Amino acid sequence: MKDAWEAGDALSEIVAGRYPGYVKRFMAAAGAGLHRHSLVRDGDDVLVGLSGGKDSVALLLFLELRRRRVKDAYTLRAVRVEWDGWPSDPAELDALAAFCGYLGVPFSVETGPIPAAIAERGLSCYLCSRERRKALLESAERLGCGVVALGHHLDDFAETALMNLCKHGRIDQMRPSATFFGTFRLVRPLCMVRESALKTLADRLGLPVVRNTCPLEATAQRGRYKAVLAELAKIDTLVRENIIKATTPSEEEPWISIT
């Protein structure tokens, strides 16, 4: 993103309410997950964790498009977490700000020191995720938001379930919704959307996707499980959905639809 980001014709058509087929399918899948689990409700003040990856950018677009259709049933704002020592490209932050401005969604960057847990124990995917989630919850409290929305998609759920089974010997998975401190709800509205649909959306609409600069990207084990799932999908295209269904506790109704 060397040049300043501007909305193209394809995105302008979407914002005007004219959806081509791939956008209709995306909105339907995201809407199904949101409604099935009552993730965003009337009167909610929602903070979207906007990392700038395709997942969080697509999530923000979905929630804003839906908000317009349901006539301001909830409020939206976006927050990106930054840590000293790991600065982002200013041009990429400008692009995210321009995107949020185009949608009319308030955007802020929360900057702070590297968390003590990471400074003491070193960087890991687990610690990074935990500390970023903590920072978002603190921002939500400060900004008066009771709901924090994250961009985890269907593939993330399946990968996590497979990792827990293979690495830890337990059947466990992420949940579409979780409550923290009895006050905040952390929700994942894209729980029924495949990653491939998000990539199509970002590419065709020219969304401002920030480069992944994570120093662990090349060695993270999640990428290896992602590759395994891709191979399994060549045998059965519904492998991701079936893994999620199989790892849902027996006392619960499977939360994902398989059609």
- pLDDT value at residue 221: 81
- pLDDT value at residue 257: 53
The pair of structure tokens assigned to 223 is 């990428």
4 is a domain residue: no
Angle at the Cα of 96 from the Cα atoms of 211 and 143, rounded to 5 degrees: 120
Q: Torsions phi, psi of 163, nearest 5?
A: -65, -45
Alpha-carbon span 11 to 30, nearest angstrom: 18
- If phi > 0 it is left, if psi is from -120 to 50 it is alpha, else beta; for residue 82 that is beta
* CB 49, CB 132: distance < 8 Å: yes
252 is a domain residue: no
107 is a domain residue: yes
Other beta carbons within 10 angstroms of residue 187's beta carbon come to 26
139 is a domain residue: yes
183 is a domain residue: yes
Q: Report CA torsion sign: 111, 116, 120, 123.
A: negative
160 is a domain residue: yes
94 is a domain residue: yes
Domains identified in the chain, total number: 1
Other beta carbons within 10 angstroms of residue 17's beta carbon come to 9
Angle at the Cα of 123 from the Cα atoms of 48 and 1, rounded to 5 degrees: 50
Residues of the chain with pLDDT under 50: 1, 258-259
Alpha-carbon span 37 to 254, nearest angstrom: 12
Where b means 16+ CB within 10 Å and e means fewer, 122-133 reads eeeeeebeebbb
Nearest to 24 by CA among 69, 84, 87: 69
List the domain range (segments joined by +) for residue 124.
9-246
Separation in Å, CA 227 to CA 34, 81, 155, 203:
28, 28, 11, 21
Q: What is the pTM of this model?
A: 0.91
51 is a domain residue: yes
Q: In Å, how far from its chain's centre is CA 186? A: 11
Alpha-carbon span 247 to 229, nearest angstrom: 15
Nearest to 18 by CA among 196, 205, 197: 205
- CATH code for the domain in which residue 212 is found: 3.40.50.620
